[in-house]
Amino acid sequence: MMRAIKKLIVSAACAVLTLCAVPLGSYAVNELEGPEEELTDGTFTYELVNGSYTITACDPTAIISAIPELRNGYAVTAIGDMAFSGCNYISELEIPETIKSIGTNAFAGCTSLKKVNIHSNITDLPSGMFMSCINLTDVFLPDNMKTIGSYAFFGCAALKEISLPDGLSRIGAMAFAECKSIENIDTDGVAAFTFEDGILYNSSKANIYRASASLSGDVYVLDSVKSIEPGAFSLCENIENVFLPSSVSYIGEDAFGYCGKLKKIDMAQGVATIAPIAFKYCISLETLDIPTTVESIGEGAFYNCQALERVIIPEGVKDIGMGAFLSCGNLKQVSIPKTVTSIGDNAFGFSEDSETGEYNKYVDFKMSVFSGSAGEKYAKSSKISYSCIDKNLKKTAFIVIAAGLIILAAVFAVLLMAKSRKGKSSSAKKEEKMAKEKEEEDNYQKIVDDDSDK
pLDDT class of 207 with cuts at 50, 70, 90:
very high
At residue 29, the pLDDT reads 35
Rounded to an integer, the average pLDDT of 76-81 is 97
Residue 136 scores a pLDDT above 50: yes
At residue 65, the pLDDT reads 82
Residue 2 scores a pLDDT above 80: no
Determine what percent of the chain is predicted with pLDDT higher than 90.
73
As a whole number, the mean pLDDT across the chain is 86
pLDDT class of 289 with cuts at 50, 70, 90:
very high
Q: How many other CB atoms are there within 10 angstroms of residue 326's CB atom?
A: 27
pLDDT class of 393 with cuts at 50, 70, 90:
very low
Determine what percent of the chain is predicted with pLDDT higher than 70.
78
Rounded to an integer, the average pLDDT of 384-410 is 61
Q: How many other CB atoms are there within 10 angstroms of residue 425's CB atom?
A: 10
What are the CA-CA distances from residue 353 to residues 307, 350, 366 (Å)? 17, 10, 21
pLDDT tens digits along 250-266: 999 999 999 999 999 99
pLDDT tens digits along 258-288: 999 999 999 999 999 999 999 999 999 999 9
Q: In whole angstroms, give the CA distance from residue 87 to residue 76.
A: 19
At residue 390, the pLDDT reads 73
At residue 269, the pLDDT reads 96
Residue 402 scores a pLDDT above 80: no
Rounded to an integer, the average pLDDT of 110-133 is 96
Which of 116, 98, 120 shows the shortest CA–CA distance to 108? 116
What are the CA-CA distances from residue 285 to residues 179, 263, 328, 414 (Å)? 21, 4, 10, 57
| Per-residue burial over 152-164, b = 16 or more CB atoms within 10 Å of its CB, e = otherwise | bbbbbeebeebbb
pLDDT class of 201 with cuts at 50, 70, 90:
very high
Residue 346's contacts (CB-CB under 8 Å, 6 or more residues apart) are 1, 2, 322, 323, 326, 352, 359, 382
Q: Where are the domains positioned within the chain?
A: 3-214, 403-454
At residue 24, the pLDDT reads 30
At residue 453, the pLDDT reads 52
Q: In whole angstroms, give the CA distance from residue 388 to residue 368.
A: 6
Residue 139 scores a pLDDT above 90: yes
Q: In whole angstroms, give the CA distance from residue 429 to residue 431.
A: 6
pLDDT tens digits along 337-391: 999 999 999 999 999 998 899 999 999 999 999 999 999 999 999 999 999 987 5
Three-class DSSP labels, 199-248: EEEECCCCEEEEECCCCEEEEECCCCCCEECCCCCCCCCEEEEEEECCCC
The CATH H-level superfamily of 3-214 is Ribonuclease Inhibitor (3.80.10.10)
| 3-state class (DSSP) for residue 351 | strand
pLDDT tens digits along 409-450: 555 555 555 555 544 455 555 566 566 556 655 654 554 455
Higher pLDDT, 417 or 176: 176
Three-class DSSP labels, 58-79: ECCCCCECCCCCEECCEEEEEE
Rounded to an integer, the average pLDDT of 49-63 is 93
Give Cα 157 to chain centroid, integer Å: 22
| 3-state class (DSSP) for residue 194 | strand
pLDDT class of 26 with cuts at 50, 70, 90:
very low
Higher pLDDT, 21 or 150: 150
What is the value of pTM for the model shown? 0.80
Which of 277, 287, 340 shows the shortest CA–CA distance to 314? 340
Residue 148 scores a pLDDT above 90: yes
